[in-house]
Amino acid sequence: MRVMIIGGGIGGLCLAHGLRGAGIDVGVYERTRARTDWLQGYRIHINPDGCRALHRCLPARGWAAFDSTAGDAGGGFGFYDRRLRRLALLEPEMLTPAADDPVGRHRSVSRMRLREVLLDGLGEALHEGREFVRYEHTEDGRLRAHFADGGTAVGDLLVGADGANSRVRQQYLPELRRFDTGVVAIAGRYPLTAESEARLPVELTSGAASILTPRSDSLFAATWRGGPRTGVGKAGSVDTGDYVLWGYSAARSAFPPDLHDLDGEALRALVSERIDGWADALRILVTGADLASVNALALKSMPTLRPWPSTTVTLIGDAIHNMTPMAGIGANTALRDAAVLTRALTDAGPDDVLAAVTAYEEQMRGYANRAIAQSLRNARQAASDARLPRLAFGTTLKIAQAVPPLKRALFAGLGS
């Protein structure tokens, strides 16, 4: 059995390691040549599902490299009002009950470092500079992938791991398209130095914070600190240092029509104006952002995934369940795909690829639909103009903070 993976992102590379570890012949076809062509300098959150998937798929050397370079994503999660008055605080032990288990806890890792870990050891299985164009079924029941350079590759299973604008999905499931949620986020990065950190209160420099308002907008902030710098890192790698990532979200109608034509300075000024009257620390956070990091993003999402007849073509990651970033689980869901598909192919064996794909897709739709729904709900709530539900949620948070057993019950399972 030979598996062709189209796309060398997080999910595709993790799947390649998992399949190679199971003794399955695999090729990864990635359109870029430079290892940092598409990379952003941000760190990402790897939750227990993502950690378990990496542990399942990576060889021992790769897992050790990830474990040594990933930092802890601790610090708790706080809910505050616009004046930065606390509504509720979810302590680190609530979010990470398995803090002593490196496989079952929350981690923070640089996208670039994670990509280096995933690229390491693939050798000739990685084919760079191969832009996928289309696939076709051959007369002997296999698949042939065509690339922009005129070359082709043949295999028994083709996996689309080529992102939100997947060409594999466009050919395979052309009716399945992302939709615009009507929510826009403007995000930026506030670099943390000894001097800049002293300008912010601890609420904004440890863990994550959600700023709730009675109107149709919200602001999210998360502190990212680098992990140990051993075990991985190539010459020339870029690392952004410590920072607070912030994101301001509102309905599209709240922004000017030319929003996506504005540069970082204009976007930063726009958010600063929108939060006029909020706590001074929040304005410092926004106005102190690195201009090069400020950008606007129209949030899109896949609809609920309905069953389709399984074939020897399948999809993982953003190619099938692209979601808004408002739940922070997109990358983790892609990693989970890699582990589930690896296990399905291993259990079914080389003579029943279709059974393996069917088993994978049935399981994937279950957890992917839950993730899509959660991220979409969070996005819509962030920009909702329904005042009463917002006030009711704030009141619930205050009560939960005052009654610890209620808080534990209300947020049970949030950190799993």
Domain of 372: which CATH number?
3.50.50.60
Give the confidence band of 104 by pLDDT, cuts at 50, 70, 90.
confident
Q: Supply the pTM of this predicted model.
A: 0.90
Question: Does some domain include residue 88?
Answer: no
Residues 402 and 280 placed together within one structural domain of the fold: yes
CA atoms within 13 A of residue 305's CA, in its CB half-sphere: 26
Residues 43 and 141 placed together within one structural domain of the fold: yes
Of 240, 297, 295, 298, nearest to 268 by C-alpha is 295
Q: How many CB atoms are closer than 10 A to CB 277?
A: 8
Residues 152 and 27 placed together within one structural domain of the fold: yes
- The predicted-structure confidence for 302-322, as pLDDT tens digits, reads as follows 999 999 999 999 999 999 999
What's the confidence (pLDDT) of residue 231?
A: 42
Q: Where is pLDDT greater, at 215 or 199?
A: 199
What's the confidence (pLDDT) of residue 99?
A: 60
Give the confidence band of 400 by pLDDT, cuts at 50, 70, 90.
confident
- Check pLDDT > 70 for residue 228: no
Question: Does some domain include residue 20?
Answer: yes
Domain of residue 162: give its range: 2-74+106-179+301-380
Residues 129 and 153 placed together within one structural domain of the fold: yes
- Check pLDDT > 60 for residue 239: no
Question: Does some domain include residue 196?
Answer: yes
Beta-strand relationship, 243-251 and 217-224: antiparallel
Question: Does some domain include residue 366?
Answer: yes
Question: Does some domain include residue 95?
Answer: no
- The predicted-structure confidence for 19-35, as pLDDT tens digits, reads as follows 999 999 999 999 986 55
Type and span of the H or E element at 4: strand 2-6
Q: Which amino acid is at 290?
A: D
Residues 132 and 269 placed together within one structural domain of the fold: no
The DSSP output letter for 150 is: S
Question: Does some domain include residue 129?
Answer: yes
Give the confidence band of 36 by pLDDT, cuts at 50, 70, 90.
very low
Question: Does some domain include residue 56?
Answer: yes
Residues 10 and 137 placed together within one structural domain of the fold: yes
Q: Which amino acid is at 241?
A: G
Residues 241 and 320 placed together within one structural domain of the fold: no
Of 112, 153, 149, 122, nearest to 21 by C-alpha is 122
The number of distinct structural domains making up the chain is 2
- Check pLDDT > 70 for residue 37: no
CA atoms within 13 A of residue 166's CA, in its CB half-sphere: 36
Q: Tokens 């739940």 correspond to what residue?
A: 327
Beta-strand relationship, 208-212 and 152-155: unpaired
Residues 130 and 203 placed together within one structural domain of the fold: no
Whole-number percent of the chain with pLDDT over 70: 91
**Contacts of 88 by beta carbon, 8 Å cutoff, 6+ apart:** 78, 79, 397, 398, 400, 401, 407
Residues 280 and 375 placed together within one structural domain of the fold: no
Question: Does some domain include residue 330?
Answer: yes
Residues 291 and 319 placed together within one structural domain of the fold: no
Residues 392 and 330 placed together within one structural domain of the fold: no
Mean pLDDT across 179-207: 94
- Check pLDDT > 60 for residue 155: yes
Residues 14 and 133 placed together within one structural domain of the fold: yes
Of 201, 179, 197, nearest to 282 by C-alpha is 201
